[in-house]
């Protein structure tokens, strides 16, 4: 198999780190490569201008599908794992800090909690679901077709344990959404009294908010707000409260 484009070069290292989800922000790339700002920025600009890399809605670096396939297949064929070379994936706490810095909002992890509202709450929830590595727990009374529910299905399809505690569908649209989630392996359970809105990811971060999992709520038609925590004691308390009510 021929090496992929840029393989063995400084640009190739950047593409390799991004394509394997080891680095998604500038700070992560600088730390992993050891490149100075004066060296890294021109390389990123060249890759960006040539449309080899881009940023998604959360401000994370991504590579084109073609390059992603080339690098993934080449690494697999040669039994190489970039994570073992670089020392592992960036901790979730650092990824969250990078997200806060990128958004330039008045939030901080100094106290292990921070407040979000409006579109930032929606964007962060999508970001957090995307970063899940093993388990997602969602408690929400209204789960309908939207980007967030789609992410739940995609996460389950890629092997994560995804549990959703909600109210039963009261129309055909919601029923289709729930059936789709179940078909992807999401464990969906019902209770007519559920009203809490909670998201817990990998037992490392949780969101307690007013936002529902349907378009009008998550997309900003209604004003939503909530708190994010990475405090283990708080997360444990949230999970204990949920498990006291249900058997997921």
Q: Is the pLDDT of residue 87 over 50?
A: no
Q: How many domains does the chain have?
A: 2
| SS3 state at 175 | helix
Predicted local confidence at residue 152, as pLDDT: 94
Q: What is the DSSP string of the chain?
A: -PPPTTTTSHHHHHHHHHHTTS--SHHHHHHHH---HHHHHHHHHHHHHTTSEEE-TTS-EEE-HHHHHHHHHHHHHTT--HHHHHTSPPPHHHHHHHHHHHHT-S--STTSEEEEEHHHHHHHHHHHHHH-SSEEEEE-S-B-SSHHHHHHHHHHHTT-EEEEEEPPP-SHHHHHHHHHHHHTT-EEEE-TT----EEEETTTEEEEES--BSHHHHTTSS--EEEEE--HHHHHHHHHHHHHH---
Q: Is the pLDDT of residue 83 over 60?
A: no
Q: For residue 172, tell me if it sits in a domain.
A: yes
Predicted local confidence at residue 97, as pLDDT: 87
- pTM as predicted: 0.69
Q: Is the pLDDT of residue 235 over 70?
A: yes
Predicted local confidence at residue 156, as pLDDT: 92
Query: Which residue, of 40, 72, 89, is where some domain finishes?
Result: 89
Please check whether residues 122 and 234 belong to one and the same domain.
yes
Please check whether residues 130 and 181 belong to one and the same domain.
yes
Please check whether residues 137 and 83 belong to one and the same domain.
no
Query: Which residue, of 36, 70, 89, is where some domain finishes?
Result: 89
Q: Is the pLDDT of residue 82 over 70?
A: no
Please check whether residues 106 and 154 belong to one and the same domain.
yes
Q: How confident is the model at residue 216 (pLDDT cuts 50, 70, 90)?
A: confident
Q: Is the pLDDT of residue 188 over 70?
A: yes
Q: CATH number, domain at 98?
A: 3.30.870.10
Calpha distance 50→15 (Å, rounded): 13
Q: Which two tokens mark 11?
A: 């640009």
Predicted local confidence at residue 84, as pLDDT: 37
When pLDDT is averaged across residues 79-91 and rounded to a whole number, the result is: 51
Please check whether residues 141 and 21 belong to one and the same domain.
no
Query: Which residue, of 89, 119, 141, is where some domain finishes?
Result: 89
Please check whether residues 76 and 110 belong to one and the same domain.
no
Q: For residue 119, tell me if it sits in a domain.
A: yes
Predicted local confidence at residue 103, as pLDDT: 83
Please check whether residues 79 and 100 belong to one and the same domain.
no
Predicted local confidence at residue 102, as pLDDT: 80
Q: Is the pLDDT of residue 135 over 70?
A: yes
Q: For residue 1, tell me if it sits in a domain.
A: no
Q: For residue 2, tell me if it sits in a domain.
A: no
Please check whether residues 67 and 113 belong to one and the same domain.
no
Please check whether residues 18 and 61 belong to one and the same domain.
yes
When pLDDT is averaged across residues 199-210 and rounded to a whole number, the result is: 95
Predicted local confidence at residue 52, as pLDDT: 94
Please check whether residues 215 and 111 belong to one and the same domain.
yes
Per DSSP, what are the bridge partners of residue 162?
136
Please check whether residues 48 and 75 belong to one and the same domain.
yes
Predicted local confidence at residue 86, as pLDDT: 41
Residue span of the structural domain in which 197 resides: 94-245
Predicted local confidence at residue 85, as pLDDT: 40
Q: How confident is the model at residue 220 (pLDDT cuts 50, 70, 90)?
A: low
């Amino acid at each position: 198999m021929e090496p992929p484009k840029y393989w063995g070069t400084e640009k190739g290292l950047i593409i390799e780190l991004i394509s394997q989800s080891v680095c998604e922000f500038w700070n992560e790339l600088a730390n992993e490569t050891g490149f100075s700002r004066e060296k890294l920025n021109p390389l990123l600009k060249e890759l960006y201008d040539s449309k080899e890399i881009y940023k998604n809605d959360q401000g994370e670096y991504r590579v084109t599908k073609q390059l992603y396939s080339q690098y993934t297949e080449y690494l697999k064929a040669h039994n190489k794992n970039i994570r073992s070379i670089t020392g592992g994936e960036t901790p979730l706490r650092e990824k969250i800090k990078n997200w806060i810095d990128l958004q330039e909002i008045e939030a901080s992890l100094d106290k292990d909690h921070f407040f979000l509202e409006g579109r930032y709450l929606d964007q962060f929830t999508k970001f957090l679901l995307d970063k899940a590595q093993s388990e997602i727990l969602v408690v929400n009374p209204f789960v309908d077709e939207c980007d967030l529910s789609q992410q739940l299905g995609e996460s389950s399809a890629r092997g994560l344990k995804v549990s959703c505690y909600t109210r039963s569908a009261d129309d055909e649209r919601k029923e289709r959404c729930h059936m789709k989630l179940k078909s992807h392996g999401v464990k969906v359970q019902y209770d007519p009294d559920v009203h809490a809105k909670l998201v817990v990811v990998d037992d490392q971060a949780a969101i307690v908010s007013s936002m529902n999992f349907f378009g009008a709520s998550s997309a900003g038609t209604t004003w939503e707000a909530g708190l994010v925590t990475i405090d283990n004691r708080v997360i444990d308390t949230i999970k204990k409260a949920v498990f006291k009510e249900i058997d997921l």
